Amino acid sequence: MELSLSTHDFGDHTVLEVGGEVDVYTAPRLRERLIELVEAGARHVVVDLSRVEFLDSTGLGVLVGALKRLRAVNGTLKLVCAHERLLKIFRITALDRVFALYDSVDAAVAGGVATPDQTT
Amino acid sequence: MATVRLSFSPAPAHVRTARLVAVAVARRAGVPDELLEEIRLATGEACSRAVALHRSHGVSELVHVSLKDGERFTVEVVDRASNGSALVGSPEDPGMFLVEPVVPLTVTPDTLTEEDVAERMGLALLAGLVDDIAVVPVKGGGGTEVRMSWPLPKPGSRT
């Protein structure tokens, strides 16, 4: 399935719903959308990966890039990822220690605007 | 032993095709369902790596993928990019570039570019996902082969 992207606001968060496959071919579109959001002023972004069927290292690279971009403007990036299939990828790459991972958009938004692991 | 071979120009769009074919052949070979996702991801990472190497070296030759079902289900991905800066480890010790990047993963990726992160994560995923993996120089030089295999059930129902 092709990549699908849709955005909506949720309180002071901007939620980007991602669906389909994020790979070396589609990841540039995800990168562009994330850059657009930050340039448009979004500071607290939730990337909802619930409907992602496939995520590879290129997609992880894009998410790390977005995290850096948002931190540079005192923003936050939270990921919604409940599927074991995807969580395993974050664990293998040790990125589960870099990203704030939540199992639902509600939990991500309720988690406040500070990224748990990145208080320093 | 049935073999499926696939060759594709080094374009990102074709990596998905390679993944789909690998999973289809693996399923037909009798690979247990719980391993199919691993094969999908590992094949994708190996092909993405090959495409990235070809592109960074300006190599337009095809990337080759071989899928074999014998005692084990084997996936081989061969790139034709010459050994160079895109290889993390020493060309004399190709295993290095699968192992080495895994160690510094605890280092915050803040200082890395997205491409660096993707490359590191790709190698980490391959090394972390696949129990049986080898990276060897292509005979005669000019490229590497990523060879991975997964177990097949003994009393096979292969056709």
ipTM: 0.85
Q: Which of A37-41, A84-88, B38-42, B97-101 is predicted least confidently?
A: B97-101
> DSSP alpha helices (H): ranges in chain B?
13-29, 33-56, 96-99, 114-129
- From B123, which residue of chain A is nearest by alpha-carbon distance? A57
How many domains, in total, are found in chain A?
A: 1
Q: CB–CB of B48 and A64 under 8 A?
A: no
pLDDT at position B8 over 50: yes
Q: CB–CB of B117 and A98 under 8 A?
A: no
List the domains of chain B with CATH numbers. Answer: 2-151 (3.30.565.10)
> DSSP alpha helices (H): ranges in chain A?
27-39, 57-72, 84-92, 105-110
Is the torsion defined by CA of B101, B59, B113, A48 positive or negative? negative
- Mutation site for B-interface testing, chosen from A23, A63, A84, A115 by largest number of B Cβ within 10 Å: A23
In single-letter form, the type of residue at position A117 comes to D
Q: CB–CB of B52 and A24 under 8 A?
A: yes
Percent of chain B with pLDDT over 70: 77
Q: For position B105, what pLDDT does the model report?
A: 46
Per-window interface: B 38-67 vs A, CB < 8 A: 40-41, 44-45, 48, 51-52
Question: Which structural domain, as residue segments, surrounds residue A33?
Answer: 4-106
Q: For residues A35 and A16, is the Cβ–Cβ distance under 8 A?
A: no
**CATH code of the domain covering residue A37:** 3.30.750.24
**Model pLDDT for residues A41-92, shown as the tens digit of each residue:** 999 999 999 999 999 999 999 999 999 999 999 999 999 999 999 999 999 9
pLDDT at position A25 over 60: yes
**Model pLDDT for residues B43-85, shown as the tens digit of each residue:** 999 999 999 989 988 999 999 999 999 999 999 999 998 654 3
Whether A120 maps to a domain, the answer reads no
Residues in A touching B45 (Cβ below 8 Å):
56-57
